């Protein structure tokens, strides 16, 4: 059995979406970040950084944190959501890495400075708005010639990026002027497993 420790956040939604897509049985443990449960000793033993999600596979004895690593593990475990053809496989891994190293952190910083920072820092807000807009423009250009990040195949790269574009829409980070990114987002959002995944453990409100 798979044990998933998560909360209603973009990184958490990546894994609930993947598990729902793969129809894998799992036990969901809600780690309520607002209550500081991610800083409890029990959780810090799973991830010393105190961040969700964490996945523990009882069958293999493997325990993982970092959403990109978990997505890769689930894809390898099942032989799904990662193309088998070499070029497409590496496209998926490349765009998964782009998300983990660049897009997710940029949007996360914008969320912090624009919505949650105790003090308004106009220079930081402007910086991360510009960097986020630039990143979304790159994604839009890439999707102009293919339906999914790896080409014709829906993959863990799409799940990773959707985790944050889903939140971006909820908190009104507008990318509607980018037609290819917007169309891609709607294709992913229409998937039944995605619709289930973004409600676990609860829908995000942006509050």
DSSP string computed for 121-148: -HHHHHHHHHHHHHHHHHHHHHGGG-SB
How confident is the model over 94-149, as pLDDT tens digits?
Answer: 999 999 999 999 999 999 999 999 999 999 999 999 999 999 999 999 999 999 99
Helix (H/G/I), strand (E/B), else coil: 115: helix
Confirm whether pTM is higher than 0.85.
yes
Q: Are 126 and 192 in contact (CB under 8 A)?
A: no
- Crossing angle for the helix pair 86-98 and 156-170, to the nearest 10 degrees: 30
What confidence score (pLDDT) does residue 205 get? Answer: 83
User: Edge to edge, what strands does the sheet with 62-65 contain?
Assistant: 26-30, 2-6, 54-57, 62-65
How confident is the model over 149-193, as pLDDT tens digits?
Answer: 999 999 999 999 999 999 999 999 999 999 999 999 999 999 999
Radius of gyration, alpha carbons of the chain = 17
């Amino acid at each position: 059995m798979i044990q998933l420790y998560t909360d209603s956040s973009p990184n958490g939604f990546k894994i609930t979406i993947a598990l729902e897509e793969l129809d894998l049985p799992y036990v969901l443990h809600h780690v309520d970040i607002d209550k500081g449960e991610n800083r409890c000793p029990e959780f810090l033993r799973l991830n010393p950084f105190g961040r969700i999600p964490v996945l523990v596979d009882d069958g293999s004895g493997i325990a993982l944190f970092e959403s990109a690593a978990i997505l890769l593990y689930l894809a390898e475990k099942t032989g799904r959501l990662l193309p088998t053809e070499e070029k497409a496989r590496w496209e998926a891994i490349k765009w998964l890495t782009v998300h983990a190293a660049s897009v997710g952190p940029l949007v996360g910083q914008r969320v912090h400075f624009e919505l949650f920072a105790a003090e308004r820092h106009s220079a930081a807000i402007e910086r991360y708005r510009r960097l986020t807009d630039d990143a979304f423009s790159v994604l839009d250009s890439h999707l102009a010639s293919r339906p999914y990040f790896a080409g014709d195949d829906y993959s863990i790269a799409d799940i990773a990026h959707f985790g944050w574009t889903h939140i971006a829409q909820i908190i009104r980070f507008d990318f509607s002027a980018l037609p290819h990114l917007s169309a891609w987002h709607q294709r992913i959002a229409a998937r039944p497993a995605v619709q289930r995944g973004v409600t676990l453990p609860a829908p995000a409100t942006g509050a």
